[in-house]
Amino acid sequence: MTAQLELVETFAALGDPVRQLIVERLAEGDATVNELAALFPISLQAVSRHIKVLEAAGVVSRSRVAQSRPVHLEAASLIRTADWLEAHRLRLESRYERLDAVLEELKES
């Protein structure tokens, strides 16, 4: 999968408020689907579908521990996304600084 496609999938996965809250909860530590479902007024199946979307985007993974399948936040995926955003923020900031300098010169003229 290309880096661009990974970003698109990550942003799409994080575009849903339920999935955002799931990610926030998993930032505190791993949780089972049942534990995550207890946070929402939706069905266990709906939460499971949200987790599958996050898993397909590489934002979360599941492992097997005895009878349990905890959901784990994959920080690397979010770090790549944050790095991409930061690079674009810095580029925009540089452009705005140049624009501010031009506007300042125009005021002084």
Give the chain's domains with CATH numbers: 3-108 (1.10.10.10)
pLDDT above 70 (res 1): no
Say if residues 68 and 32 touch (Cβ distance below 8 Å).
yes
Decide which of 40 and 88 is more confident: 40
The per-residue pLDDT for 57 is 94
pTM of the model: 0.78
Buried-exposed string 99-109: b where 16+ CB fall within 10 A, e elsewhere = eeeeeeeeeee
Cβ neighbours of residue 7 under 8 Å, at least 6 residues apart?
80, 81, 84
pLDDT above 80 (res 109): no
The per-residue pLDDT for 2 is 76
Q: Which residues is 65 bridged to in the sheet?
A: 68
- Over range 20-28, report the average pLDDT: 97
Query: Hey, how many other C-beta atoms are within 10 angstroms of the C-beta on 34?
Result: 11
